[in-house]
Chain A
């Protein structure tokens, strides 16, 4: 599937500031990691969008298949007992 004459695709993740997660912001094409990093800095941080960049080769990302979404994610829907509000405790207890 990967045509070697094509510029590889990279996904770019930026951390807006310390204390926050890196978040996917977009993608770009570059021959190698160093050039991907430079391009990500030029394109995605022109307005102080962050202080840290990750670039990941898109072909290295393993993604779940949307066709399997039902069996992957529906089972969580009927498990309300995983949430604190499922349990009855006396009001007098206050915050718990």
Chain B
């Protein structure tokens, strides 16, 4: 009963103050929580929501990029993109598996994605009209994801932390291939350079929104920090990402689409960039389903799930038939 044993099992724990204090003490002592350990219902619920969202993001994230595999300009770019998209599928699997250890089934999570009750990262609701978008996604979207995921490798929930270690190890090539692609375009002719700048203009703001609402408006942050599910706040991670990424753009001759972006030596301890106002109305609009690609993404997922139904049924029927013949022969 490593994990599936929990599905449908009674996971209720009587949450006396003594139990909650002991749980917090364990967290504070950096002792990881493992699948069958007693845990507060809210801790379980938070993790299921968070890991599920993360898994859905990996899976839906394959769609905007998969779109370009057949049109990659060289074989080198094509194998890189194929490998990247395949990795995202794997990452979705690691994460679904981690969520399942908390007692939720894969089928239930899929259902929640398709019926809209579960969310995925809003970034994937933006379209990828040009080849440069593939560079921008690798560099910025994977870059932001890595910034978020590195601290999650120390998450208090063991299976999530272990999945993250694997994901981070695999993901560093994603960002590098994206940046290399952007650099190549930026060094190309005027049209190519323009294409790179245009992609950056469209992806920059959505990328920095990926860290989620500002700390003053984030409904989940405090308790998640206390339980050491998260190690940094949304705003801290966003600032780290901006500080790391702005010089990368400068290095390849691209300009961030933010006139208010300015180095501020006195920011935090070692200086940091001041940046313009984030359009949170746009963020919430996309979260609530009104982005450019929300409907397309879910339609594509639903089609893949529905079209694959007969394969799953056939594989299960075949396995059952074989098992039966096997037991009759024995």
Quick check: which of B45-53, B54-62, B92-100, B215-223 contacts chain A, the rest being far away?
A: B92-100
- Determine, out of B192-200, B299-307, B314-322, the stretch whose residues face the partner at the interface: B314-322
Say whether B318 contacts A26, CB under 8 Å. no
Known: A6-B105, A9-B4, A58-B2. A27 touches B97 (CB 8 A): yes
Complex contact A29–B9 (CB within 8 A): no
| Contact of B9 with A1 in the complex, beta carbons under 8 Å | yes
A18 in the interface (beta carbon within 8 A): no
Question: Are A66 and B319 within 8 A (Cβ)?
Answer: no
Q: How far is the CA of A43 from the CA of B95 in the complex (A)?
A: 13
| Tally of B interface residues using CB under 8 Å | 35
| Given contacts A9-B3, A26-B97, A28-B93, A46 and B87 within 8 Å (CB-CB) | yes
Interface of A is mostly: loop
Q: Which residues from chain A contact B115 at a C-beta distance below 8 Å?
A: none
A63 to B83, CA, bound (A): 36
Instruction: Determine whether the beta carbon of A31 is less than 8 Å from that of B316.
Output: yes
* Interface contact B3-A31, CB-CB below 8 Å: no
Counting contact residues on chain A (CB < 8 A from B), the size range is 20 to 34
Contact of B315 among A26, A28, A31, A63 (CB under 8 A): A31
Binding site secondary structure of chain B: helix
Contact A61 B2, CB 8 Å, known A28-B97, A43-B90, A46-B90? yes
Interface-facing stretch out of B31-39, B117-125, B244-252: B31-39
The answer for the CA separation of A62 and B2 in the assembled complex, in Å, is 8
| Interchain CA distance A47-B170 in the complex, whole Å | 9
B312 at the interface (CB under 8 A from A): yes
Residues of the A chain whose Cβ atoms lie less than 8 Å from the Cβ of B264:
none
Partner of B2, one of A25, A27, A65: A27
> Which residue of B is nearest A35, CB measured?
B315
B residues within 8 A CB of A7?
106, 312, 316
Using CB atoms and an 8 Å cutoff, list the residues of chain A in contact with chain B: 1-9, 11, 25-32, 35, 43, 46-47, 58-59, 61-63, 65-67
Known A7-B106, A26-B94, A59-B4; further 13 A-B contacts with Cβ < 8 A: A1-B7, A6-B107, A7-B312, A9-B4, A26-B163, A27-B100, A32-B319, A46-B83, A46-B90, A47-B170, A58-B5, A63-B1, A65-B36
